[in-house]
Amino acid sequence: SKAVKPETGKEASEKGIFGFIEYCREKDWEISKLCAKMNIDHLGIDREVDALIAATHEICLKFIECHDYVHIHSANPCTPWSQIQRLNEVQYGKNFRERLAKARRTNLLFIAKFILLTRKVREKGGTSSFEWPRHATGWSQPLVKQLIQENGYTTTYVDGCAVGLKSNRTGLPVLKPWTFVTDNPSLRDALIEKRCSKDHEHTPIEGSDTVKTGRYTAELAKILVKAFLKEGHTAFQKLLD
């Protein structure tokens, strides 16, 4: 597999001011589209293709080094840590448990790589964030706890319906409880109020909605990108003061 290039078409080694990295993402995320629209240097690392390639890690390091302020965000695949896997382990037996254990080991490799990148971002004065569904069992993994502790992350809970997530089937809001951890104060403050208002009904996540709810809405993408830019401008202002 080939390592990726920044989606602005630039080489990772080209100088820039602000840079946004989506690490271990789904393809065609709203963040990518928004960064392209705003001409923000953006590096998208796809889950299945690029995330564990050594050359890709080097490209990420070059991208971080060549930008004055970088925010890196990861939404690692959460399937291996879904609560339903507890039932699947009992129902499908030894072979399933072995496949699940392998998937979890791979998943933790994503997180280990992400930790290394957040260190470099933090050294340069940048910020980072990580998201999983609120009830994913992976939150208890020592490596995930290390990620949170190392970066001094604070935790914010977000409900999908509060950021425009709706069902393809019914058009009704979908709850989708997310948990974000971040060291970006602007992102934390913007997300903290995004909870269900409890004045509407929800559509359960099933069928075609399952894939959709794994991706961010345009509203949530705007929150992430706006917070990244706000914190970047704040960092530059401190240098001038």
**pLDDT reported for residue 8:** 59
CB-based contacts of 142, cutoff 8 Å, min separation 6: none
What is the Cα Rg of the chain in Å? 18
**pLDDT reported for residue 31:** 92
Report how far residue 132's alpha carbon sits from residue 81's, in angstroms, rounded to the nearest whole number.
Answer: 10
**pLDDT reported for residue 211:** 59
Predicted structure pTM score: 0.91
Average confidence (pLDDT) per 10 residues, the chain, 241 residues: 56 81 80 92 80 86 95 92 91 94 94 96 97 95 98 97 89 91 97 94 70 80 96 81 65
Specify the 3-state DSSP secondary structure of 238.
helix
Report how far residue 173's alpha carbon sits from residue 183's, in angstroms, rounded to the nearest whole number.
Answer: 29
Q: Is the dihedral of CA 143, 146, 151, 152 positive or negative?
A: positive
**pLDDT reported for residue 2:** 47
**pLDDT reported for residue 1:** 42
Amino acid present at 160 = G
pLDDT in tens, 148-157: 999 999 999 9
